[in-house]
């Protein structure tokens, strides 16, 4: 199959959370390439089908220079901090979230840490933090430019002698064909009452819902907001709850961070929108904290 510039083998997808329950799925939209976007009626997970096989997708990742890494060319932590850019503000939100659940000196692991910006900020905030990242290009920046402890490894192959108090997994699960397996592996690496902090796309966010409606009304036809082929799933609170419980976690918080918050716009009117988006999970990404049980 060809999809835009990408080529590979394809397969039909079924809900990874309802494998034994044979739940049916509702077609939300089919784009002109024949890719369907379905909502599982058992758990509310949204999935793309057909999709590239996992093997084909790994090849696509290998060939893709997907991230703009120019900000690391003449990297200066002070300049990054003073820029108050979105990337800086997002890391601050993550740190504030983790601090609500874990004290200083807690041991943290960032799964799929990219270049290691969170590892850097968490370390500066008094946590003992390390990261793992399968892409050598990204982990290399972490080790050589940010100078943080980042290992080039997949979580399945990551073996250590100690356990973590918290694991963060930002913007990763929507890429994984078997998110339950990876979350269970996180559970094995966590202390018994440890916390998992995660963020995934939220198809019930205002902007995502609006774009989906435009497609269903026939006014748009590429379903680009889903993020296919990289993203194979999108979530809401219910599907995240089902996923968490299957992996041995109890969800303790859902919230979302608005663009205003990420852009550092904190005037009083902005604050009202920021709080509403946070409480009602109205943004296009949803944050979940889940505790191991």
Tokens of 116: 């290691």
| Of 23, 30, 64, the residue nearest 48 (C-alpha) | 30
Nearer to Zn ion, 55 or 178 (CB): 178
- Are the C-beta atoms of residues 235 and 241 closer than 8 Å to each other? no
By rule CB under 5 A, what string of x and - marks binding of each residue 41-60 to Zn ion? Answer: -xx-x---------------
- Are the C-beta atoms of residues 201 and 284 closer than 8 Å to each other? yes
User: What stretch of H or E contains 210?
Assistant: helix 206-216
Angle formed by the axes of helices 86-99 and 117-124, nearest 10°: 50
User: Alpha carbon 71 to chain centroid distance?
Assistant: 21
Nearer to Zn ion, 42 or 134 (CB): 42
11 φ, ψ (degrees, to nearest 5): -150, 155
Nearer to Zn ion, 42 or 227 (CB): 42
- Smallest gap from Cβ 147 to Zn ion, in A, equals 42
- Smallest gap from Cβ 288 to Zn ion, in A, equals 17
| Of 189, 286, 192, the residue nearest 243 (C-alpha) | 286
Nearer to Zn ion, 44 or 199 (CB): 44
- Smallest gap from Cβ 246 to Zn ion, in A, equals 10
Contacts of Zn ion in 4-43 (CB under 5 A): 15, 17-18, 40, 42-43
By rule CB under 5 A, what string of x and - marks binding of each residue 142-161 to Zn ion? Answer: --------------------
Nearer to Zn ion, 20 or 73 (CB): 20
Nearer to Zn ion, 19 or 96 (CB): 19
- Smallest gap from Cβ 16 to Zn ion, in A, equals 8
Range list of β-strands (E), the chain: 2-3, 6-7, 10-11, 25-30, 36-40, 46-49, 51-52, 107-111, 128-132, 150-151, 164-170, 190-201, 233-234, 249-255, 285-292
- Smallest gap from Cβ 228 to Zn ion, in A, equals 18
Nearer to Zn ion, 45 or 289 (CB): 45
- Smallest gap from Cβ 236 to Zn ion, in A, equals 12
- Are the C-beta atoms of residues 143 and 132 closer than 8 Å to each other? no
- Smallest gap from Cβ 40 to Zn ion, in A, equals 3
Task: Evaluate the CA torsion angle 202, 205, 211, 214 in order and state its sign.
Answer: positive
Binding of residue 180 to Zn ion (CB under 5 A): no
Q: Which residues bind Zn ion (CB under 5 A)?
A: 15, 17-18, 40, 42-43, 45
């Amino acid at each position: 199959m060809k999809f835009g510039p990408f080529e590979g083998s394809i397969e039909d997808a079924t809900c990874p959370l309802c494998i034994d329950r044979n739940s049916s799925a509702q077609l939300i939209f089919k784009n002109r390439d024949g890719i369907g976007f379905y909502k599982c009626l058992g758990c509310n997970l949204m999935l793309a089908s057909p999709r590239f096989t996992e093997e084909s997708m790994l090849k696509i990742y290998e060939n893709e220079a997907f991230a703009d890494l120019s900000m690391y060319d003449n990297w200066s932590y002070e300049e990054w901090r003073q820029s108050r850019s979105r990337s800086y503000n997002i890391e601050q939100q993550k740190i504030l979230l983790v601090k609500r659940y874990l004290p200083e000196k807690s041991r943290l692991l960032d799964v799929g840490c990219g270049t290691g910006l969170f590892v850097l900020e968490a370390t500066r905030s008094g946590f003992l933090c390390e990261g793992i990242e399968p892409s050598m290009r990204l982990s290399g920046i972490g080790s050589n430019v940010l100078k943080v402890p980042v290992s080039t490894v997949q979580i399945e192959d990551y073996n250590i002698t100690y356990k973590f108090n918290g694991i963060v997994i930002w913007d990763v699960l929507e890429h994984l064909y078997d998110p339950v397996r990876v979350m269970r592996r996180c559970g094995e690496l966590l202390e018994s009452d440890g916390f998992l902090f995660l963020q995934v796309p939220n198809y019930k966010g205002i902007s995502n819902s609006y774009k989906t409606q435009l497609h269903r009304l026939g006014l748009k036809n590429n379903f680009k907001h889903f993020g296919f082929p990289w993203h194979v799933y999108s979530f809401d609170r219910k599907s995240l709850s089902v996923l968490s419980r299957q992996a041995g976690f109890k969800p303790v918080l859902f919230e979302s961070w608005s663009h205003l918050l990420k852009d550092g716009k904190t005037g009083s009117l902005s604050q009202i929108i920021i709080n509403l988006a946070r409480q009602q999970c109205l943004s296009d990404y949803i944050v979940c904290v889940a505790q191991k049980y």
